[in-house]
């Protein structure tokens, strides 16, 4: 996102995809973003991405809090936002990098490799990633461990990584989900520039809304881009007026969303 958000802010890029965390931090100009990008608007809220720590299936570690004093992949200079997300998961359990044994790795793949080689006690990755499926197959099973999803834990997480929240994934939903488990989650936004025409934004939402099943059949990741998710009362940046027009026609945009939109525009 840092590569293309400046061009969207200047009206040179029409649309892109952001996580909720990238959306709110770029909109406010905080964390990794040195200036605010105020011209980004949500077209739809799509699926979500979940990230977390995973351990060997027979590991004694049951929660993120159990990682205190243990070897954890850190740094991730190839993808700086990854360090922020893993730090937020630790924070939910009252931990920081000072409480673990840091094992610097270059990126997510290197972190998973370190885990498979026994150089770390836990890995950090996205749910359903091929890397975790590989570890699950090679090591005789892995197990995701939960973040602290209490209100206090969620607050600590979002303070470190704005736009993130804990979400419970049902047992069996993916490799390593042995029991219901709370993982760090980000919504995925399809965004457009403020100067994208209302008609264009409307047409995009209409196409996604009406063709959800066909799109999911063509690309399984789009199955989560359901109409029921497209309007979110937890949105972190404003919606595009063209999208709002469509949602109002469908009766899914109410007074509460008007109030949220006004609040977000005033940030």
Q: Which CATH number fits domain 49-186: 3.20.20.140, 3.40.190.10, 3.40.50.12780, 3.30.200.20?
A: 3.40.190.10
Same fold, 5-47+188-265 and 49-186: yes
> Any idea where the domains of the chain sit in the sequence?
5-47+188-265, 49-186
Report DSSP letters for 17-53, one per residue. EEEHHHHHHHHHT-TT-SS--TTEEEEEEEEEEEEEE
Rounded Cα distance, 114 and 243, in Å: 44
- Rounded to the nearest integer, the mean pLDDT of the chain is 96
Q: How is residue 169 annotated by DSSP?
A: E
* Strands annotated E in the chain: 15-19, 40-56, 71-75, 101-105, 123-126, 142-145, 165-169, 181-193
Lowest-confidence pick of 215-219, 238-242, 258-262? 215-219
Question: How is residue 134 written in tokens?
Answer: 């590989």
If DSSP codes are grouped into helix, strand and coil, which group holds residue 191? Answer: strand
Q: What is 5-47+188-265's CATH superfamily?
A: Periplasmic binding protein-like II (3.40.190.10)
Residue 234's pLDDT band, with cuts at 50, 70 and 90, is very high
Instruction: Write phi, then psi, for 52 (nearest 5 degrees).
Output: -175, 180
Residue 3's pLDDT band, with cuts at 50, 70 and 90, is confident
Nearest to 258 by CA among 250, 87, 247, 267: 247
Residue 229's pLDDT band, with cuts at 50, 70 and 90, is very high
């Amino acid at each position: 996102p840092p590569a293309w958000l400046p061009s969207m802010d200047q009206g040179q890029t029409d649309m892109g995809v952001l996580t909720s965390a990238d959306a709110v931090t770029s909109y406010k100009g905080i964390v990794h973003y040195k200036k605010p990008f105020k011209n980004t608007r949500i077209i739809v809220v799509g699926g979500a991405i979940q990230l977390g720590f995973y351990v060997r299936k027979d590991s004694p570690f049951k929660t993120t809090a159990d990682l205190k004093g243990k070897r954890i992949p850190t740094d991730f200079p190839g993808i700086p936002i990854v360090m922020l997300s893993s730090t937020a998961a630790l924070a939910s359990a009252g931990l920081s990098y000072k409480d673990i044994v840091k094992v610097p790795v270059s990126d997510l793949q290197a972190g998973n490799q370190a885990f498979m080689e026994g150089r770390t006690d836990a890995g950090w990755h996205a749910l359903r990633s091929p890397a975790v499926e590989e570890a699950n197959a090679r090591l005789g099973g892995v197990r995701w461990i939960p973040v602290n999803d209490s209100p206090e834990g969620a607050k600590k997480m979002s303070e470190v990584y704005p736009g993130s929240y804990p979400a419970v994934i049902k047992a069996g939903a993916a490799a390593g989900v042995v029991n219901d488990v709370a993982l760090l989650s980000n919504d995925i936004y399809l965004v457009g520039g403020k100067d994208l025409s209302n008609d264009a934004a409307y047409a995009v939402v209409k196409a996604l809304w009406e063709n959800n099943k066909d799109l999911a059949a063509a690309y399984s990741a789009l199955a989560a881009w359901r109409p029921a998710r497209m309007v979110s009362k937890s949105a972190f940046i404003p919606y595009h007026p063209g999208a709002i027009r469509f949602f109002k026609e469908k009766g899914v945009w109410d007074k509460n969303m008007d109030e949220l939109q006004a609040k977000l525009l005033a940030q």
